[in-house]
């Protein structure tokens, strides 16, 4: 666990860079985290992030399949939005835990 | 001198040679998992494994009920091989297995192929097996990229951090 200043706020991160506390999340934090991975967040990205946060808060196990059926993006678009880690990166930028699903 | 540098995988090539539900799914879960991790992924289906990508058969695959010592009946009782050989038992077990898999939000093979290719993974059928079973390109799911030889598949195994996995 470590502390890091992101977008002017002190954020607690896990060793793998996920937010310890989902309530520390803000759009500015997400934008800055995404920049570090070379991804510029757009409105579409935020729609996905909001969906993940909502599902996660409801206790759902997340998978790319579920995001693909959300009506926001299909799986191909999800890969385009978050290249190299559709679920990993989106979960990280959404301020929720590391995904535990195998699909 | 020891090399302690941890290098992530760049590419995986998976080979599936069996056509039962669990072996095909194992291959697809590993392939999809690799794509999701940003690893370049290629899958080669051969011999009975071709059932996993044949449009007609892929979503109706069966579980092995004979000669499968890991198989259990409800209540953790052993599952006798002779029972598995009775008519309809294999079909019943297979449909039960498919519904349990569905409960876990694991897609059927056709949907799995779409997920893998959506992320840039590639699916191939083995030319030798295709010729042997007298199949044609149109018998396969649309996401099957090509029918190739094992030599052509090996040619794709370039790069330092590449692994070939036979399931």
For residue range B8-34, what is the model confidence (pLDDT) as tens digits?
899 999 999 999 999 999 999 999 999
Identify which of B38, B115, B118 has the shortest CB distance to residue A84.
B38
Number of H helices, E strands in chain A: 5, 2
Q: State chain B's mean pLDDT as an integer.
A: 94
Q: What range does the domain containing B70 cover?
A: 11-166
Q: Nearest CA of chain A to the CA of B132: how many Å?
A: 33
User: For the whole model, what pTM was predicted?
Assistant: 0.92
The confidence band for B1, taking pLDDT boundaries of 50, 70 and 90, is: low
ipTM: 0.91
Residue B2 lies inside a defined structural domain of this protein: no
**Residues of chain A with C-beta less than 8 angstroms from the C-beta of B107:** 65, 103
Answer whether A75 sits within 8 Å of B115, measured CB to CB. yes
CB-based contact, A81 to chain B, within 8 Å: no
The confidence band for A24, taking pLDDT boundaries of 50, 70 and 90, is: very high
pLDDT value, residue B3: 65
Beta strands B77-78 and B72-73, pairing class:
antiparallel
Beta strands A9-13 and A2-6, pairing class:
antiparallel
Answer whether A86 sits within 8 Å of B36, measured CB to CB. yes
Q: State the CATH number of the domain containing residue B94.
A: 3.40.1260.10
Identify which of A76, A83, A84 has the shortest CB distance to residue B118.
A76
Q: Nearest CA of chain B to the CA of A62: how many Å?
A: 10
CB-based contact, B114 to chain A, within 8 Å: yes
Helix (H, G, I), strand (E, B) or coil at B139: helix
DSSP letters spanning A14-60 = -TTS-BS-GGG--HHHHHHHHHHTT----HHHHHHHHHHHHHHHTTP
pLDDT above 90: percentage of residues in chain A: 87
pLDDT value, residue B2: 64
Number of domains in chain B: 1
Tell me how far apart the alpha carbons of residues A39 and A92 are, in angstroms, rounded to a whole number.
Answer: 12
Outline where DSSP puts E strands in B46-161: 72-73, 77-78, 122-126, 144-148
Residue B4 lies inside a defined structural domain of this protein: no
A23 is a catalytic site residue: no
Tell me how far apart the alpha carbons of residues B158 and B9 are, in angstroms, rounded to a whole number.
Answer: 12
Residue B44 lies inside a defined structural domain of this protein: yes
Q: In the predicted model, is pLDDT for residue B62 greater than 70? A: yes
B40 pairs with which residues across the strands? B11
Do A33 and A92 touch, CB atoms closer than 8 A? yes
Residue B67 lies inside a defined structural domain of this protein: yes
> What does the pLDDT look like over B118-154, one tens digit per residue?
999 999 999 999 999 999 999 999 999 999 999 999 9
Residue B18 lies inside a defined structural domain of this protein: yes
From residue B76, alpha-carbon distances to B11, B99, B126 in Å are 39, 19, 38
CB-based contact, A92 to chain B, within 8 Å: no
Answer whether A103 sits within 8 Å of B33, measured CB to CB. yes
Tell me how far apart the alpha carbons of residues B146 and B137 are, in angstroms, rounded to a whole number.
Answer: 8
Residue B17 lies inside a defined structural domain of this protein: yes
Q: Nearest CA of chain B to the CA of A5: how many Å?
A: 27
- Environment class of A2 (CB within 10 Å of its CB; exposed 0-12, middle 13-18, buried 19+): exposed
Identify which of B37, B106, B120 has the shortest CB distance to residue A103.
B106
Element housing B11 (H / E): strand B11-16
Tell me how far apart the alpha carbons of residues B83 and B86 are, in angstroms, rounded to a whole number.
Answer: 5
């Amino acid at each position: 666990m470590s502390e890091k200043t992101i977008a002017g706020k002190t954020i607690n991160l896990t060793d793998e860079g996920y937010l310890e506390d989902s309530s520390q999340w803000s759009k500015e934090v997400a934008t800055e985290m995404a920049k570090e991975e070379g991804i510029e967040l757009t409105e579409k990205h935020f729609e996905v992030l909001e969906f993940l946060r909502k599902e996660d808060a409801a206790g759902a196990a997340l998978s790319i399949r579920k995001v693909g059926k959300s009506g926001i993006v299909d799986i191909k678009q999800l890969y385009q939005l978050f290249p190299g880690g559709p679920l990993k990166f989106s979960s990280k930028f959404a301020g929720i835990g590391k995904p535990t699903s195998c699909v | 001198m020891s090399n302690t540098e941890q290098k992530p995988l760049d590419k995986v090539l998976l080979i599936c040679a069996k056509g039962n539900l669990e072996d095909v799914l194992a291959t697809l879960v590993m392939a999809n998992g690799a794509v999701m991790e940003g690893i370049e992924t290629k899958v080669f289906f051969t011999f009975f494994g071709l059932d996993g990508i044949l449009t007609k058969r892929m979503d109706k695959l069966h579980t092995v009920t004979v000669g499968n010592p890991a198989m259990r009946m409800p209540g953790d009782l052993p599952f006798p091989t002779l029972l598995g050989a009775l008519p309809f038992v294999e079909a019943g077990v297979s449909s039960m297995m498919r519904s349990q898999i569905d409960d876990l939000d694991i897609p059927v093979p056709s949907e799995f192929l779409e997920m893998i290719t959506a992320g840039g993974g590639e699916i191939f059928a083995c030319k030798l097996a295709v010729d042997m079973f007298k199949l044609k390109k149109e018998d396969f799911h649309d996401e099957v990229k090509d029918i190739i030889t094992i030599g052509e598949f090996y040619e794709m195994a370039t790069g330092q951090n590449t692994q070939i996995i036979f399931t």
